[in-house]
Amino acid sequence: MGKSVVAIVKGAKDPGEEEIAALVRKAIELAGGLADIISRGDTVLINPNLVIPQSPETGATTDPRVCQAIADMVKEIGARPIIAESSAVGIDTEEAFRATGYTKLREKGYEVIDLKKEKTTKVPIPKGKSVKELSLPRPVVEAKAIISVPAMKTHDQALVTLSLKNTKGLLPDTFKRKFHTTFGIYQGVADLCTVFRPALAVVDGIIAQEGLGPMFGTPVEMDLIIAGKDPVAVDAITSMVMGFGPQEDGVIDAAARLGVGTADPDKIEVVGETISSVQRRFKRAEEAVFELVTIPKGFQLIFDERTCTGCRRNVLSVLVDLKEQGKLDRAAGLTVVAGKAERLPDVDREHLVLVGNCLAKFREYATFVPGCTPNNRDIIAGILGEESKVMYTARGGAEKNSEPPQ
C-alpha cells in the first residue's frame, strides 16, 4: 500500500482571489486531483468551518475564496458543489454566512446551504466505539463525497481543530452537545469519520489562529493551503506545521487508531513545500490563558498528572469566559479539580468543583460537572452554582445558549 500524500503550498503575503484559487488548485493537483473521487453528475458537499459570525481575517473561519476555488474545480468535472455548514448551537448559520462572506458567494450563483434547516435521517455507525447511530442532515448523507475545508487553528478543548474535527459541523444541534457530554469529542468525531470520512481535506492556512482558539485566538498569517485525500494524514502534517506532534491531538489519535487514516509520518509523503520550510510554533490554548486572566484570590486549580488535555483546556478557557462575562471574581475561594485523582483535597465541599467523568466516583462529595470532555457552559454553571445562559463571549458581543465550537 502506498503512502498517503499531503500537499503543502505556500503563497505570497496577503493573496487575492486569483492567487488563492491558484494555491488551492495547485495543492489539490499535487495531492492527486479530483478525478478519482468525483464524477460527472455527483453531488459534492464542501464543508467550511463557520462556527460563529467572525471574519476569516480573525483566523476563526474558513475564507470563502478557498471554498469558491474548490467549488469551481468540482464544477469543471461536471459535478454539483454544495457549500454547507451548521454553525455552533445557538448561532444563526445565516448570520455566519453574512459575516464571513458566504452570502456573497450565494449571490454569485454558488449553492450555499444551512444544514440546520435540512431534514435529518438516521445512520448507523457500525465501527463506532462511542457512537452507534446518528441523525444527520440529508444533504450530508446523500452527498457522493465530502470535502472538509477547516481553518488552521488551535482549540481550547482539543489541541487543534482541523479536517477531522470540522466534520462535527455536519451534525444537527441535538448531537453536537452529546459529542462533548456523552460520546467524548475525540472518540465521537473519530467514530463519525468511519462512515462520513472526508474524501478530500483542504486546510485554509491563509490566516490561521493560535492561542485560545477557536475564537479568542490571535490571527497568524501563514499563506498556506494544505491538502490530501487522507484526512488523518492531512491533520497530522498540519499539526506538525503548527509545531505539534502528529498524534498529539486526541481527535487525530483516535481516528488513526480506528483506521480512518494514518498519522505516521513515515507513511505519509509530503509534496510541495517541506514541513520545516513553513513550520511555525503555534501558541497553545493553555499558554494564552494566563496572558488574559488574573486568577482571583483564593482560587485553586488542581490537575492530576493524568488530567487529559481536554479537561485541562476547558477549565482554563472557562476562566477567560468568566472574565469576558465579568463574573471571574465569583470564582474566588473555589478549588477546581480535574483528572484521575485518588483522593480529594481537604477543602469544604461547598467550595469544591470536580470536572470530568474521571471524578464521577466523588460526585456525592462536591459539585460535579460530568462529561468527557465537559463543555464550558456546564463548567461555568458548576463554578457559579447556577445555570449559565452565556457560554462564549465572542469578539463583538455575547453568543447566547451556545455550544462548544468547532
- Which residues, other chains included, contact 65 with Cβ-Cβ below 8 Å and sequence gap of 6+? 17, 20, 21
Give the whole-angstrom CA distance, residue 84 versus residue 93: 10
Banded model confidence at residue 180, pLDDT cuts 50, 70, 90: low
Average pLDDT, the chain: 90
pLDDT at 398 over 80: no
Alpha helices in 11-92 (DSSP H): 17-30, 64-77
Which of these, 280, 97, 259, 244, lies nearest to 193 by C-alpha position? Answer: 259
Confidence bin at 309 (pLDDT 50/70/90): low
According to the model, what pLDDT value does residue 315 have?
87
pLDDT at 312 over 70: yes
Who's near 196: CB < 8 A, 6+ residues apart? Answer: 136, 140, 146, 167, 170
C-alpha cell at 239: 499539526
* pLDDT per position as a tens digit, 76-124: 999 999 999 999 878 899 999 999 999 999 999 999 999 999 999 999 9
**Mean pLDDT, rounded, for 354-381:** 89
pLDDT recorded at residue 301: 86
Q: Within the chain, how many helices (H) and strands (E) appear?
A: 15, 18
What is the pLDDT at residue 406? 54
- Element (DSSP H or E) covering residue 83: strand 80-85
Q: What is the pLDDT of residue 311?
A: 82
3-state helix, strand, coil in the chain (%, to 5): 40, 25, 40
Largest CA distance in the chain: 67
pLDDT, residue 259, reads 97
Residue ranges per domain, the chain? Answer: 4-284, 293-400
Q: How big is the CA angle at 223 (ends 218 and 228), to the nearest 5 degrees?
A: 105
**Which pLDDT score is estimated for 286?**
76
Q: Is the pLDDT of residue 340 over 70?
A: yes
Query: Is the pLDDT assigned to residue 394 strictly greater than 80?
Result: no
pLDDT above 70: residue 328: yes
Q: Which residue has the higher pLDDT, 79 or 301?
A: 79
Residue 139, Ramachandran bin (φ over 0: left; ψ between -120 and 50: alpha; else beta): alpha
CA 338 – CA 342 distance, rounded (Å): 11
DSSP summary character for residue 8: E
pLDDT exceeds 50 at position 401: no
CB atoms within 10 A of CB 266: 6
Q: Which fold has domain 4-284?
A: Rossmann fold (3.40.50)
CA–CA distances in Å: residue 274 to residues 108, 145, 206, 224? 36, 28, 17, 12
For cell 513550520, the residue is: 279
Cell output for 278: 513553513
- In 3D, which of 183, 167, 134 has the Cα closest to residue 51? 167
* pLDDT value, residue 292: 79
Torsional class of 396: left (φ above 0), alpha (ψ -120 to 50), beta (otherwise): left
3-state secondary structure 277-317: HHCCCCCCHHHHHHHHCCCCCCCEEEECCCCCHHHHHHHHH
The Cα–Cα gap between 210 and 317 comes to 14
pLDDT tens for each residue of 226-278: 999 999 999 999 999 999 999 999 899 999 999 999 999 999 999 999 999 99
Q: Which of 32-46, 107-121, 360-374, 380-394 has the lowest mean pLDDT?
A: 380-394
Give me the pLDDT at residue 33, please.
98
- Assess contact for 45 and 6: CB atoms under 8 A: no
DSSP SS3 for 396: coil
Predicted confidence (pLDDT) at residue 197 exceeds the cutoff of 80: yes
Tell me the residue type at 357. Answer: N
Predicted confidence at residue 385, as pLDDT, reads: 87
How far CA 300 is from CA of 331, 339, 351, 354, 383, in Å, comes to: 9, 14, 10, 12, 12
Residue 40 CB neighbours (<10 A): 8
CA distances to 70, 238, 326, 335 from 394, rounded to whole Å, are: 29, 26, 14, 27
Q: Indicate the pairing of strand 120-124 with strand 111-114.
A: unpaired
Site of grid cell 483546556: 313
Lowest mean pLDDT among 127-131, 151-155, 188-192, 396-400: 396-400
Identify the pLDDT of residue 402.
39
Q: Indicate the burial class of 351 (C-beta count within 10 angstroms; 0-12, 13-18, 19 or more).
A: middle
pLDDT for 238: 98
Local structure of residue 100 (DSSP, 8 states):
H
**pLDDT at residue 54 above 50?**
yes
